[in-house]
Structure 1
Amino acid sequence: VFFINFPTGLLCGEIRKAWVEFVNVSAVPLTGLRVASTHPEFFTFGSATSDLTPVTPTAAEHCSAYKTVAVPPSMATVSLVSPAAFGVTGGERPVVAEIPLSQGVLGPGEALQIPLWLRGPDREGVHEINFLFYYESTEKTAKL
Protein backbone atom coordinates (compact mmCIF):
# COMPACT_ATOMS: atom_id res chain seq x y z
CA VAL A 1 0.00 0.00 0.00
CA PHE A 2 1.38 3.38 -1.05
CA PHE A 3 -0.02 6.84 -0.34
CA ILE A 4 0.42 9.63 -2.89
CA ASN A 5 0.01 13.28 -1.86
CA PHE A 6 -1.14 12.32 1.63
CA PRO A 7 -1.32 15.59 3.61
CA THR A 8 0.62 16.00 6.84
CA GLY A 9 -1.95 18.45 8.21
CA LEU A 10 -5.55 19.51 7.65
CA LEU A 11 -7.62 22.41 8.91
CA CYS A 12 -10.87 21.67 10.76
CA GLY A 13 -13.39 20.41 8.21
CA GLU A 14 -10.94 20.79 5.31
CA ILE A 15 -11.25 18.23 2.54
CA ARG A 16 -8.22 17.09 0.57
CA LYS A 17 -7.71 14.51 -2.12
CA ALA A 18 -4.89 12.00 -1.92
CA TRP A 19 -4.33 8.73 -3.74
CA VAL A 20 -3.78 5.24 -2.43
CA GLU A 21 -2.10 2.55 -4.51
CA PHE A 22 -2.48 -1.17 -3.89
CA VAL A 23 0.05 -3.53 -5.46
CA ASN A 24 -0.41 -7.31 -5.41
CA VAL A 25 3.11 -8.70 -5.02
CA SER A 26 1.93 -12.29 -4.48
CA ALA A 27 1.64 -15.06 -7.06
CA VAL A 28 -2.15 -15.42 -6.67
CA PRO A 29 -5.05 -13.00 -7.14
CA LEU A 30 -6.44 -11.25 -4.08
CA THR A 31 -10.01 -10.31 -3.26
CA GLY A 32 -11.97 -8.81 -0.37
CA LEU A 33 -9.63 -5.86 0.05
CA ARG A 34 -10.71 -3.93 3.15
CA VAL A 35 -9.47 -1.26 5.50
CA ALA A 36 -10.07 -0.91 9.22
CA SER A 37 -9.42 2.41 10.88
CA THR A 38 -9.47 4.08 14.25
CA HIS A 39 -11.19 7.12 12.66
CA PRO A 40 -13.29 6.01 9.67
CA GLU A 41 -15.16 9.33 9.71
CA PHE A 42 -12.05 11.13 8.45
CA PHE A 43 -11.82 9.45 5.03
CA THR A 44 -13.69 7.87 2.15
CA PHE A 45 -12.62 6.25 -1.11
CA GLY A 46 -13.54 7.52 -4.55
CA SER A 47 -14.05 5.52 -7.69
CA ALA A 48 -11.06 4.29 -9.66
CA THR A 49 -12.76 5.61 -12.81
CA SER A 50 -13.82 9.01 -11.45
CA ASP A 51 -10.68 10.94 -12.42
CA LEU A 52 -7.41 10.42 -14.19
CA THR A 53 -5.20 8.59 -11.76
CA PRO A 54 -1.74 10.05 -11.21
CA VAL A 55 1.04 7.67 -12.13
CA THR A 56 3.56 9.34 -9.86
CA PRO A 57 3.49 11.92 -7.07
CA THR A 58 4.83 14.46 -9.60
CA ALA A 59 1.94 13.79 -11.98
CA ALA A 60 -0.47 14.13 -9.07
CA GLU A 61 0.58 17.77 -8.64
CA HIS A 62 -1.39 18.52 -11.80
CA CYS A 63 -4.53 16.72 -10.61
CA SER A 64 -5.94 19.15 -8.05
CA ALA A 65 -8.73 18.36 -5.62
CA TYR A 66 -9.68 22.03 -5.66
CA LYS A 67 -11.29 24.24 -8.25
CA THR A 68 -11.02 28.02 -7.99
CA VAL A 69 -14.11 29.93 -9.01
CA ALA A 70 -14.18 33.75 -9.09
CA VAL A 71 -17.40 35.22 -7.68
CA PRO A 72 -18.30 38.65 -6.31
CA PRO A 73 -17.82 38.96 -2.52
CA SER A 74 -21.58 39.30 -2.05
CA MET A 75 -22.06 35.80 -3.46
CA ALA A 76 -19.24 34.10 -1.58
CA THR A 77 -20.39 31.68 1.09
CA VAL A 78 -18.69 29.30 3.43
CA SER A 79 -20.09 25.82 3.60
CA LEU A 80 -18.87 23.13 5.92
CA VAL A 81 -19.00 19.49 4.93
CA SER A 82 -20.55 17.40 7.65
CA PRO A 83 -19.41 13.95 8.74
CA ALA A 84 -22.72 12.66 7.30
CA ALA A 85 -21.39 13.48 3.82
CA PHE A 86 -18.67 10.92 4.53
CA GLY A 87 -21.19 8.25 5.51
CA VAL A 88 -21.12 8.88 9.27
CA THR A 89 -24.58 9.05 10.80
CA GLY A 90 -25.36 9.10 14.50
CA GLY A 91 -23.12 7.17 16.86
CA GLU A 92 -22.72 4.17 14.57
CA ARG A 93 -19.50 4.41 12.60
CA PRO A 94 -18.35 1.64 10.32
CA VAL A 95 -14.93 0.49 11.46
CA VAL A 96 -14.26 -1.61 8.35
CA ALA A 97 -14.73 -0.36 4.78
CA GLU A 98 -14.54 -2.41 1.60
CA ILE A 99 -12.23 -1.10 -1.11
CA PRO A 100 -13.76 -1.46 -4.57
CA LEU A 101 -11.76 -3.68 -6.94
CA SER A 102 -12.50 -3.82 -10.64
CA GLN A 103 -14.00 -7.26 -11.35
CA GLY A 104 -13.64 -8.03 -7.63
CA VAL A 105 -9.99 -9.15 -7.80
CA LEU A 106 -6.48 -7.76 -8.07
CA GLY A 107 -4.31 -10.13 -10.07
CA PRO A 108 -0.67 -11.04 -9.42
CA GLY A 109 1.61 -8.11 -10.24
CA GLU A 110 -1.34 -5.76 -10.79
CA ALA A 111 -1.70 -2.35 -9.16
CA LEU A 112 -4.72 -0.18 -8.49
CA GLN A 113 -4.77 3.53 -7.64
CA ILE A 114 -7.93 5.11 -6.26
CA PRO A 115 -8.71 8.54 -4.84
CA LEU A 116 -8.77 8.86 -1.07
CA TRP A 117 -10.76 11.84 0.23
CA LEU A 118 -9.69 13.05 3.66
CA ARG A 119 -11.67 15.33 5.97
CA GLY A 120 -10.06 17.28 8.79
CA PRO A 121 -11.59 16.66 12.22
CA ASP A 122 -13.97 19.23 13.70
CA ARG A 123 -11.80 19.71 16.78
CA GLU A 124 -8.40 21.35 16.50
CA GLY A 125 -5.33 19.57 17.74
CA VAL A 126 -3.12 16.68 16.75
CA HIS A 127 -5.04 13.66 15.49
CA GLU A 128 -3.68 10.34 14.31
CA ILE A 129 -5.44 8.01 11.89
CA ASN A 130 -4.40 4.37 11.92
CA PHE A 131 -5.16 2.21 8.89
CA LEU A 132 -5.08 -1.58 8.73
CA PHE A 133 -5.43 -2.95 5.19
CA TYR A 134 -6.21 -6.62 4.70
CA TYR A 135 -7.33 -8.98 1.94
CA GLU A 136 -8.18 -12.59 1.12
CA SER A 137 -6.68 -14.94 -1.41
CA THR A 138 -8.89 -16.24 -4.20
CA GLU A 139 -7.27 -19.62 -3.55
CA LYS A 140 -8.24 -20.62 -0.03
CA THR A 141 -5.28 -22.98 0.43
CA ALA A 142 -2.70 -20.74 -1.24
CA LYS A 143 0.32 -19.38 0.58
CA LEU A 144 0.66 -15.64 0.18
Structure 2
Amino acid sequence: VEVYQDCNVFNTGAFQFASKKGEKEQNCIYLEHGKPLIFGTNREKGIRLDGAGRPEVVNLSDVKEDDLLFHDEASDNPSHAFSLAQMRWPNSPEPLGVFRAVNRPTYDGEVDRQFKKCQADLGQGDLEKLFNSGDTWEVKSRG
Protein backbone atom coordinates (compact mmCIF):
# COMPACT_ATOMS: atom_id res chain seq x y z
CA VAL A 1 0.00 0.00 0.00
CA GLU A 2 1.35 3.37 -0.97
CA VAL A 3 -0.25 6.56 0.32
CA TYR A 4 0.44 9.92 -1.31
CA GLN A 5 0.49 12.51 1.45
CA ASP A 6 1.22 16.15 0.73
CA CYS A 7 3.09 17.86 3.58
CA ASN A 8 2.92 21.65 3.27
CA VAL A 9 6.25 22.01 5.10
CA PHE A 10 8.48 19.38 3.53
CA ASN A 11 7.04 18.41 0.15
CA THR A 12 4.24 20.77 -0.79
CA GLY A 13 2.85 20.00 -4.22
CA ALA A 14 4.84 16.77 -4.54
CA PHE A 15 1.80 14.83 -5.73
CA GLN A 16 0.04 17.47 -7.82
CA PHE A 17 0.63 15.27 -10.86
CA ALA A 18 -1.83 12.80 -9.28
CA SER A 19 -4.27 15.21 -7.66
CA LYS A 20 -4.53 18.42 -9.70
CA LYS A 21 -7.53 18.53 -12.01
CA GLY A 22 -6.40 18.62 -15.62
CA GLU A 23 -3.08 16.97 -14.81
CA LYS A 24 -4.10 13.74 -13.09
CA GLU A 25 -6.00 12.50 -16.16
CA GLN A 26 -2.80 12.73 -18.24
CA ASN A 27 -0.44 11.50 -15.53
CA CYS A 28 -2.35 8.65 -13.88
CA ILE A 29 -3.96 5.45 -15.01
CA TYR A 30 -6.71 3.89 -12.89
CA LEU A 31 -6.49 0.11 -12.71
CA GLU A 32 -9.80 -1.70 -13.20
CA HIS A 33 -9.91 -5.48 -13.20
CA GLY A 34 -10.66 -6.95 -16.63
CA LYS A 35 -10.49 -3.62 -18.43
CA PRO A 36 -7.87 -2.26 -20.84
CA LEU A 37 -5.34 0.21 -19.49
CA ILE A 38 -6.60 3.49 -20.97
CA PHE A 39 -5.89 7.02 -19.76
CA GLY A 40 -5.62 10.63 -20.88
CA THR A 41 -7.85 13.68 -20.71
CA ASN A 42 -10.00 12.26 -23.51
CA ARG A 43 -9.01 8.64 -22.83
CA GLU A 44 -6.89 8.78 -25.97
CA LYS A 45 -3.87 6.80 -24.70
CA GLY A 46 -3.33 3.25 -23.62
CA ILE A 47 -0.71 0.80 -22.40
CA ARG A 48 0.43 -2.25 -24.34
CA LEU A 49 3.44 -4.52 -24.03
CA ASP A 50 6.39 -3.83 -26.33
CA GLY A 51 8.46 -6.55 -28.03
CA ALA A 52 10.46 -7.09 -24.84
CA GLY A 53 7.32 -7.46 -22.70
CA ARG A 54 7.59 -4.02 -21.09
CA PRO A 55 4.62 -1.64 -20.80
CA GLU A 56 4.64 1.22 -23.31
CA VAL A 57 2.33 4.19 -23.92
CA VAL A 58 0.48 4.20 -27.26
CA ASN A 59 -2.12 6.44 -28.89
CA LEU A 60 -5.46 4.70 -29.32
CA SER A 61 -5.66 6.13 -32.84
CA ASP A 62 -2.67 3.92 -33.75
CA VAL A 63 -3.75 0.60 -32.18
CA LYS A 64 -6.85 -1.48 -31.56
CA GLU A 65 -8.22 -1.75 -28.03
CA ASP A 66 -7.64 -5.52 -28.15
CA ASP A 67 -3.89 -4.84 -28.50
CA LEU A 68 -3.81 -3.04 -25.16
CA LEU A 69 -2.82 -4.58 -21.87
CA PHE A 70 -5.87 -5.69 -19.87
CA HIS A 71 -5.57 -5.49 -16.10
CA ASP A 72 -5.82 -8.80 -14.23
CA GLU A 73 -5.57 -8.25 -10.49
CA ALA A 74 -6.42 -11.91 -9.81
CA SER A 75 -3.53 -13.43 -11.78
CA ASP A 76 -1.55 -16.07 -9.90
CA ASN A 77 1.57 -14.84 -11.68
CA PRO A 78 2.85 -11.64 -10.00
CA SER A 79 4.76 -10.42 -13.07
CA HIS A 80 1.82 -8.33 -14.37
CA ALA A 81 1.50 -6.44 -11.07
CA PHE A 82 5.28 -6.08 -10.84
CA SER A 83 5.56 -4.56 -14.31
CA LEU A 84 2.79 -2.07 -13.46
CA ALA A 85 4.57 -1.17 -10.23
CA GLN A 86 7.64 -0.17 -12.26
CA MET A 87 5.62 2.47 -14.13
CA ARG A 88 6.31 5.82 -12.45
CA TRP A 89 5.46 9.35 -13.40
CA PRO A 90 6.99 11.34 -15.21
CA ASN A 91 8.29 8.55 -17.51
CA SER A 92 4.90 6.86 -17.75
CA PRO A 93 1.46 7.27 -16.21
CA GLU A 94 1.34 6.49 -12.50
CA PRO A 95 -0.90 3.44 -11.94
CA LEU A 96 -3.46 3.83 -9.14
CA GLY A 97 -5.71 1.13 -7.73
CA VAL A 98 -5.47 -2.55 -6.85
CA PHE A 99 -2.42 -4.10 -8.51
CA ARG A 100 -2.97 -7.65 -7.24
CA ALA A 101 -5.66 -9.34 -5.18
CA VAL A 102 -5.18 -13.07 -4.75
CA ASN A 103 -6.35 -15.46 -2.06
CA ARG A 104 -3.47 -17.58 -0.87
CA PRO A 105 -2.72 -19.38 2.37
CA THR A 106 -1.20 -17.11 5.01
CA TYR A 107 1.85 -18.02 7.05
CA ASP A 108 0.01 -17.99 10.38
CA GLY A 109 -2.84 -20.02 8.90
CA GLU A 110 -0.43 -22.66 7.60
CA VAL A 111 1.41 -22.86 10.94
CA ASP A 112 -1.91 -23.27 12.75
CA ARG A 113 -3.01 -25.97 10.28
CA GLN A 114 0.30 -27.84 10.71
CA PHE A 115 0.07 -27.58 14.52
CA LYS A 116 -3.47 -29.01 14.54
CA LYS A 117 -2.48 -31.84 12.16
CA CYS A 118 0.45 -32.79 14.41
CA GLN A 119 -1.83 -32.81 17.46
CA ALA A 120 -4.37 -34.96 15.61
CA ASP A 121 -1.67 -37.40 14.40
CA LEU A 122 0.50 -37.58 17.53
CA GLY A 123 -1.73 -36.48 20.38
CA GLN A 124 -1.45 -33.58 22.81
CA GLY A 125 2.15 -34.24 23.82
CA ASP A 126 3.76 -34.16 27.25
CA LEU A 127 6.79 -31.97 28.02
CA GLU A 128 7.72 -34.01 31.12
CA LYS A 129 7.94 -37.16 28.97
CA LEU A 130 9.96 -35.33 26.35
CA PHE A 131 12.43 -33.96 28.89
CA ASN A 132 12.98 -37.40 30.43
CA SER A 133 13.27 -39.42 27.25
CA GLY A 134 16.46 -40.43 25.46
CA ASP A 135 19.94 -39.31 26.37
CA THR A 136 20.32 -36.45 28.80
CA TRP A 137 23.34 -34.53 30.00
CA GLU A 138 24.22 -32.10 32.70
CA VAL A 139 26.05 -28.83 32.15
CA LYS A 140 28.42 -27.93 34.99
CA SER A 141 30.47 -24.83 35.47
CA ARG A 142 34.24 -25.15 35.45
CA GLY A 143 35.86 -24.02 38.52
* TM-score of Structure 1 vs Structure 2, range by shorter chain: under 0.3
Between 1 and 2, higher relative CO (CA 8 Å, sep ≥ 6) is seen in: 1
TM-score (norm 1): 0.22
- 1 or 2, which has the higher strand percentage? 1
Larger radius of gyration: 2
